[in-house]
Amino acid sequence: MTLPDKRLHAYRSDLADLRLQGRVEAGRFVAGRPMRVVGPVLDMLAGPSRSAGLNTQLLRGAPVAVYDEQEGLAWVQAGEDGYVGYVEAGGLGPADAGVATHVVAVPRTFLYAGPDMKKPRTEALSMGSQIEVVGETETRGTLYALLPTGEAAVAAHLRPLAESAGDWVAVAETLEHTPYLWGGASAFGIDCSGLVQLAMRMSGLKAPRDSDMQAAGIGSALGADADRASLKRGDLVFWKGHVAIVTGPDAIIHANGHTMTVARESLSGAIARIGYLYGQPTGFRRP
C-alpha cells in the first residue's frame, strides 16, 4: 500500500489526523483544532526542532489545524494548501478571533499605531496577509484602513478579500528583486514555487506548494518537448526541483539561487545556464 504524502497528510507513528484512520498506522487519531496565524510570517519547519529546515511559511490570517503542541512548537496542517509541519505555537491564535475582510495587495506594507504614517510602525506585512478592517479615515490626504486594535494601514495597499487580481503574472512581476529564500513564501523572502503559489493565490487561483506538486497538478501539461516558440504568458517551465513563469517571448521570471532574487531572464539563457548543472526542462504546463 502506498502511504499518503507526509507533506500533505498529518501522520506520525504516535499521532495522526482522524481523517486518516484506516489509511495509516498511528498510536492515536485526533481531529485538528482550528486556529489562525496571528504573526506576520510564520515559519513552517520540517521537524519538531527549531533547528529543522524551513519547508514553507504561513502569512497572517491563514487558517491551520493543530494536532499537537510540545515545547512551544505546534504540529499543524495549513488550511489553504494542506501543507504539514511545525510552527511556533505563539504565532497562532483562536480561529474565531476577528474576521478578516481585506488582504495586503502590494508586496509589503506597514501597520501603524494610528492613521498617520508618522506614527510608530507596529508590524510589517507581506502581500497575501489578511486583516480585519472596521473603518476608514483620512490624514493629510492619505486614506487609512482602521483595525480593531486601533492600528492602521494605508488603504490603497489593501483590497477586499472577495476581489482578486486579474493577471497573476503581473502580481509575480511586482515581486521582482525580492530576496530568494529556500522555503520562503512571502514578499520578504521567497522561493520558486512560493512565487508561483503566492501570485496565483492573489488572483483567486489555487496552486500546491512545491514545484513537483505544481509540475504534476497545475493546469494542463504541454509536454517536455513543447515548442518554446508557442509558449504563452503565464505558462510554467519546470526543471527538476525548479519552476519559472513565462512572461513573454523567450522571457521568464523566477525566484532563483543564481541571482538569489526574483529576477527576469531569457528562457533560452536560463535553459543553457541551468542545463549545465541540472539538465533540460522536464516539462511545461499551462494554468
CATH code at position 141: 2.30.30.40
Residues 37 and 57 in one domain: yes
111/232 Cα distance (integer angstroms): 38
Asked which of 44, 66, 94 is the last residue of a domain, the reply is 94
Q: Do the beta carbons of residue 102 and residue 91 sit within 8 Å? A: no
Closest CA to 157 of 109, 101, 124, 111: 109
Residues 31 and 133 in one domain: no
Instruction: Assess if residue 266 is contained within a domain.
Output: yes
Domain around 59: 16-94
Residues 258 and 177 in one domain: yes
Asked which of 130, 160, 190 is the last residue of a domain, the reply is 160
SS3 269: helix
Per the DSSP assignment, residues forming a β-bridge with 127 are none
- Looking up residue 264, the CATH number of its domain turns out to be 3.90.1720.10
Instruction: Assess if residue 70 is contained within a domain.
Output: yes
Residues 26 and 78 in one domain: yes
Instruction: Assess if residue 119 is contained within a domain.
Output: yes
Instruction: Assess if residue 4 is contained within a domain.
Output: no
Residues 214 and 263 in one domain: yes
Q: What is the pLDDT of residue 240?
A: 94
Q: What is the pLDDT of residue 272?
A: 95
Q: What is the pLDDT of residue 206?
A: 96
Q: What is the pLDDT of residue 228?
A: 86
How many independent structural domains does the chain possess?
A: 3
Question: Per residue in 77-126, pLDDT tens?
Answer: 999 999 999 999 999 999 987 889 999 999 999 999 999 999 999 999 99
Residues 178 and 246 in one domain: yes
Q: What is the pLDDT of residue 225?
A: 72
Closest CA to 58 of 38, 74, 72: 38
Q: What is the pLDDT of residue 278?
A: 85
Q: What is the pLDDT of residue 97?
A: 78
278/94 Cα distance (integer angstroms): 44
Residues 202 and 259 in one domain: yes
Distance of CA 231 to the CA centre of its chain: 25
Stretches in the chain below the pLDDT threshold 70:
224
Residues 271 and 179 in one domain: yes
Q: What is the pLDDT of residue 121?
A: 98
Q: Do the beta carbons of residue 40 and residue 58 sit within 8 Å? A: no
